[in-house]
Every structure is written in structure tokens, then in C-alpha cells.
Amino acid sequence: MPAVNNVGPRDFDAAVAGPKPVLVDFSASWCGPCRAMAPALEKFAASRDDLGVVKVDIDEAPDIAGRYSVRSVPTLMLFVEGKPEAAQAGMMSEGQLARFVDQHLPAGGRKPVEQDPDRPQVDLDW
């Protein structure tokens, strides 16, 4: 089974809605940079069990691309709990993919809860 699964209009919302963050590769079959990036994306996806990775062909799912204002391919978009968290257009290497994802996801794959500035910080180091 490939590490990167293709999703379309019927299964996109379910694919990005789970508790695990999902990296979406918006691409097209005619896109040279998309095809060139595919091996790096597969390798990256196989190395990350904390993250789902899916591919959306913008020609097969133009409504999804329009919903997220995808204007060029490849565009990588990171979804957390069904909502877009970050996007980057352009071809990326495996290392660039890792930096992009890690920059937007702290360890554990979830964004930290914002501390209320009106409440005192509690130091639990005994």
C-alpha cells in the first residue's frame, strides 16, 4: 500500500477530519514538478506515522482546490483537526517537507493550547 493515498471529492473531508494531522499535496498529472516531487513525498510519508499524507488531483477535484484557493501546483497544505493550518506552494525535497510540517506541528502532532495571559503560570517542578 502506498504511503500517499489519492483522495477525491467524496473522501477528502473524511481524510482530513481525523485526529491525526494530514498533509495534502494538491497536484496534477500534467505537472512536471509534481511528478518530480512524488518520490520525496512518498519517502517522507513512509517515515512519518504521526501524520497522514494524501494527494488531490486538482483536475479531478476542482471544487476542493477552489475551496482552499489553490492557485498553483504543487501546493502542500497541512490540516489539523480538519482545518488548514499552513500552506506552501512549490516543489519540496524530503527535508523541506519535514521542516515545513515540523515548523507548524510541535512534538506530538498537536498545536499547544494557548495560555490565558490573565491566569498565573503554575510551575510544577518539585
Residues with catalytic function: 31, 34
Number of H helices, E strands in the chain: 4, 5
**Contacts from 80-89 at CB under 8 Å and sequence distance 24+?**
80/21, 80/105, 80/110, 80/111, 81/17, 81/19, 82/13, 82/16, 82/17, 85/21, 85/111
